[in-house]
Amino acid sequence: MAKKTVADIDVKGKRVLMRVDFNVPLEAGRIGDDRRIAQAIPTIKNVIDRGGKLILMSHLGRPKGGLEAKFSLKPAADRLGELLGKKVAFANDCIGVEVEQAVTAMKDGEVLLLENLRFHKEEEKNDPNFAKQLARLGDIYVNDAFGTAHREHASTFGAAQALQGKPRAIGFLIQKELKFLGEAVSNPKRPFVAILGGAKVSDKISVIEQLLSKADTLLIGGAMAYTFFLAQGKEVGKSLVERDKVELAKSLLAKAGGKIKLPVDTVISDKMSDDAITQIVEGNIPAHLEGFDIGPKTIELYKAEIAGAKTIIWNGPMGVFEKKPFQAGTKAIALAVAEATSKSGATTIIGGGDSAAAIEQFGLAEKVSHVSTGGGASLEFLENGHFSTLDILD
């Protein structure tokens, strides 16, 4: 059933407590990439343009549980103010008497950003008392932070629970995530091709298992492929592998019945650097060398699968795309996914994290159907098909 969005709620004169993801990269107090703040603007404007009093809460980085100036959200308040063209007030804490007073003094259409939720250890523990204190700040609860929606924290779960009986909705960012990821999980247009890469099999085992029953083809790249090579009895040289996952890789291959495609050639080198000299091998990787990308034959095979697909999900780079000599595989796959969107009308979803960074780096983010705002969250959504934090909303 479709979830209520913020647009379905009358917010005029009401205190709207909204969880956003302002976990932006900060260097010496300056915001680098402000995309996460910019992406939240449509939901924010919807509330303030209709006269809601908007109280925003977020985490930033991984503080140890107390105040740490370098993780303050104050720069995010300033940047949001610039983007909105209006003043955004900032509270030096996220709970307590002073915060409650600041909220009480708010006028319709004003915005207040609370200080980093994770300055309180209770946030990640979903402490009920802390959650209640957050909930006291709102008449309405909105969640628009997909990147943390897979975690039951006080701001994502406990506060929403504590506001039971009051309107509780999702924002437009989460609405879009649910539309694309939800459809892919429950009713994908076929053929459905999943592309999985990145460093470790262990991070993605559950999603591989889930996708085996849902997708028509799984294309594997990245270092993850070499654990599967070991499972096939191939030699992988010094490549990154997880030896304790070889048996599991074997059983996945047996279960897959040919659905899992592995690289047929590999870009190898003796070092992972920008000036690395590379070679291509088919089959075994020599003992003193390491695999860092999929090779040209694999690119062609994978491109053909992608060109024939109607739904594509991509999570994890095909190689060490951060280094130029090992970029070709990831770039070719990014281009192929973009092309499938425009030429075959495929629904194409980039599952956050490093693949989102890669598609941005290649200037192709606008050319796919959806770039997820949550790496871990999108993987978990593909595994489970729902989040408890969103289930409890209206």
Nearer to ligand AMP, 242 or 354 (CB): 354
CA distance 378 to 203: 13
138, 316, 325, 374: which one contacts ligand AMP (CB under 6 A)? 316
User: Is 62 an annotated catalytic residue?
Assistant: no
Indicate whether 199 belongs to the interface with ligand AMP (CB under 6 A): yes
Indicate whether 223 belongs to the interface with ligand AMP (CB under 6 A): yes
The count of chain residues that interact with ligand AMP, using the rule CB under 6 A, is: 16
93, 322, 339, 360: which one contacts ligand AMP (CB under 6 A)? 322
Nearer to ligand AMP, 200 or 297 (CB): 200
- Nearest approach, Cβ of 38 to ligand AMP (angstroms)? 24
Indicate whether 240 belongs to the interface with ligand AMP (CB under 6 A): yes
Q: Which one-letter DSSP state was computed for residue 71? A: G
- Nearest approach, Cβ of 327 to ligand AMP (angstroms)? 10
User: Is 291 an annotated catalytic residue?
Assistant: no
Which residues 6+ apart lie within 8 Å of 54 measured at CB?
16, 18, 44, 47, 48, 110, 111, 112
CA distance 330 to 357: 11
CA distance 81 to 345: 38
4, 200, 250, 310: which one contacts ligand AMP (CB under 6 A)? 200
Interior angle at CA 97, CA 96 and CA 101, nearest 5? 125
Indicate whether 320 belongs to the interface with ligand AMP (CB under 6 A): yes
User: Is 19 an annotated catalytic residue?
Assistant: no
Indicate whether 380 belongs to the interface with ligand AMP (CB under 6 A): no
CA distance 203 to 213: 18
Indicate whether 329 belongs to the interface with ligand AMP (CB under 6 A): no
CA distances from 263 to 24, 224, 246, 250 (A): 35, 11, 17, 16
CA distance 167 to 261: 47
292, 302, 314, 362: which one contacts ligand AMP (CB under 6 A)? 292
CA distance 50 to 11: 7
Nearer to ligand AMP, 135 or 223 (CB): 223
From 171, 352, 353, 374, active-site residue: 353
**Measured at CB, which residue is nearest to ligand AMP?**
198
The phi, psi pair for 111, rounded to 5°, reads -125, 135
CA distance 121 to 61: 13
One character per residue 13-52, x = contact with ligand AMP (rule: CB under 6 A): ----------------------------------------
Sequential DSSP letters for 275-341: T---EEEESPBPTT-EEEEE-HHHHHHHHHHHHT-SEEEEES-SS-TTSGGG-HHHHHHHHHHHHHH
Nearer to ligand AMP, 237 or 319 (CB): 319
Provide Rg for the chain, Cα atoms.
Answer: 23
Q: Nearest Cα to 194, choosing from 216, 223, 221?
A: 216
Indicate whether 75 belongs to the interface with ligand AMP (CB under 6 A): no
User: Is 36 an annotated catalytic residue?
Assistant: yes
Indicate whether 319 belongs to the interface with ligand AMP (CB under 6 A): yes
123, 203, 265, 380: which one contacts ligand AMP (CB under 6 A)? 203
For residues 335-354, which are near ligand AMP according to CB under 6 A?
353-354
Sequential DSSP letters for 125-179: TT-HHHHHHHHTT-SEEEE--GGGTTS--IIIIIHHHHTTTS-EEE-HHHHHHHH
Indicate whether 119 belongs to the interface with ligand AMP (CB under 6 A): no
Nearer to ligand AMP, 222 or 237 (CB): 222
Interacting span for ligand AMP (CB under 6 A) from 146-154, 196-204, 333-341, 342-350: 196-204
CA distances from 104 to 95, 134, 294, 319, 378 (A): 13, 14, 58, 52, 36
- Nearest approach, Cβ of 132 to ligand AMP (angstroms)? 36
* Residues designated as active site: 36, 200, 353, 376
Can you give the binding site for ligand AMP, defined by CB under 6 A? 198-200, 203, 222-223, 240, 291-292, 316-317, 319-320, 322, 353-354
